[in-house]
Amino acid sequence: MLTSELKASLNKLWDKFWAGGLANPLTAIEQISYLIFIKRLEELDNQHVNRAKARNEKFSSVFDGDIVIGGIRYPKNTCRWSQWKHHPADKMMVHVRDVVFPFIKQIHNGGNGDFSQLMKDAAFLIPKPSLLQEAVSILDTINIEAQNYDTLGDLYEYLLSELSSAGKVGQFRTPRHIIRMMVELVDPKIGERICDPACGTAGFLVNAYQYMLKQHTSSDILQIDHDGVTHNLVGDKLSAQQHKKLKNDTFFGYDFDQTMVRIASMNMILHGIEKPNIIQADTLSKAFTSKPTYDVILANPPFTGSIDKNDINDQLRVKTSKTELLFIELFYSLLQIGGKAAVIVPNGVLFGSSNAHQHIRKLLLEKCQLEAVISMPSGVFKPYAGVGTAVLVFTKGDETKNVWFYDMKSDGFTLDDKRNKIDGKGDIPDILEKFKTKAISANSILVPIEKIKENEYNLSISRYQEIPHEEIQYEDPKIIIEKVIQLEKEIQQELEELKRMI
């Protein structure tokens, strides 16, 4: 959990990066990320060395040996954070730029999304020695206990939230409480493969990881902060083998933007995932050839835009260039039979009248079990986007018999541009509870597939909600007639009185 003092320091650092000439928030986040990673690298290396010594095992430190840069040999040990953090600003700048940064670019972590490959085109862009020194000073105050990634993870989440606040380059993140709701709806299990084909900063994957750790952490260890975020997720009930599986071969993400791939990878590493498996790829294009190997898909893909029809992935049969429709078919194609998805779509997907829209809805209803359509208020993504959205929850295989609809009125925050906290929950606890049994209530209904087919596969809750009409009790007609007669008499008397006055 971040203290108010640390948040103030981070805000100050953010402002200085902007004032220092890094106007693109993605660039600023990326540069801060590198420094966080460099610091964490030494802390993790020390933990591994100490653990190996305690077990009388061999461990090769990433700081062993030398690195050759521009024909000059440098001891890798000089790349440790502790070795250069107190250097004068000018000396620090030269050493980090010319030695430390090239060093982290050649680190290998193995597996898909090898870190050195991700860093291949990365550039050190901090412009001023004084800015670097101040950033190092702030980050150096953060102490991380062994097995506790909370502080660095929270720090990174806080920095990523600034991507949204900055309102630049079209990037915005799915609200954290909406992500947590969606993760709980699909309830991922140890051993499952979880994917986000348009992962951005990897918020869904990180929250899925935290959810799975929480399910396997003793309740007396867990702590919940005032925002409802759970801490001390140590996963003490997991075996060493399960931990290894979870951290190395569980989460997979794709994004077409190389910078976002690096940021997503850093985010996952700093939350404790050893092999992020984040790959740069346009998952809608012909070049993407992944097979249906995933058990869970969590995603909030781009709502707008289109793709060149000539470059659309051959696996996608829907005749459209609208990305929001193509992504739904992609999710279907990536899931194994029995695999589950929770994804965000714009409301147009639910009722669009084109052949492509109807094709996608038929796919969800006839080749999947469409378990839930949760309509969210249009203010959920404010101030970055005001479009109405819904969460679809579906399982690949069989066909739908009934669809559970829920009309979310509140997500626990005001729905204006300020998005001030009300209770931080709104209807979410009710959604999670009623989803288990598909309960019917004032906000939820269960609609049979036959009725949906009769309505051209329309998935808007408004099409099926019965509008309650309050019965009005009228007086007996005889009494009403008597009142009208009496009223006419009074009007006649008033007219006679007026006539005498003229």
Does the pTM exceed 0.85? no
Q: What is the CATH number of domain 172-464?
A: 3.40.50.150
Residue 383 pLDDT: 59
The residues of the chain scoring below 50 in pLDDT are 111-112, 145-148, 166-170
**Residues 343-377 pLDDT 10s:** 999 999 999 999 999 999 999 999 999 999 999 99
What is the C-alpha to C-alpha distance for residues 318 and 113, in angstroms, rounded to an integer?
A: 30
234-241 — which CB contacts under 8 Å span 24+ positions?
234/147, 234/148, 238/190, 238/213
What is the C-alpha to C-alpha distance for residues 159 and 12, in angstroms, rounded to an integer?
A: 12
CA-nearest of 7, 38, 13 to 25 is 13
- Fold of domain 4-150: Ferritin (1.20.1260)
What is the C-alpha to C-alpha distance for residues 396 and 338, in angstroms, rounded to an integer?
A: 5
Residue 169 pLDDT: 42
Strands 335-346 and 294-299: parallel
CA-nearest of 372, 331, 299, 335 to 192 is 335
Question: Hunting for tokens 């499952």 — which residue is that?
Answer: 192
Q: What ranges do the domains of the chain cover? A: 4-150, 172-464
Residues β-bridged to residue 392: 343, 373
What one-character DSSP code corresponds to residue 298?
E
Q: Which two tokens stand for residue 483?
A: 């009142």
- Concatenating the DSSP letter of every residue in 179-238 gives HHHHHHHH---TT--EEETT-TTTHHHHHHHHHHHHHTS-TTT-EE-TTS-EE----TTS
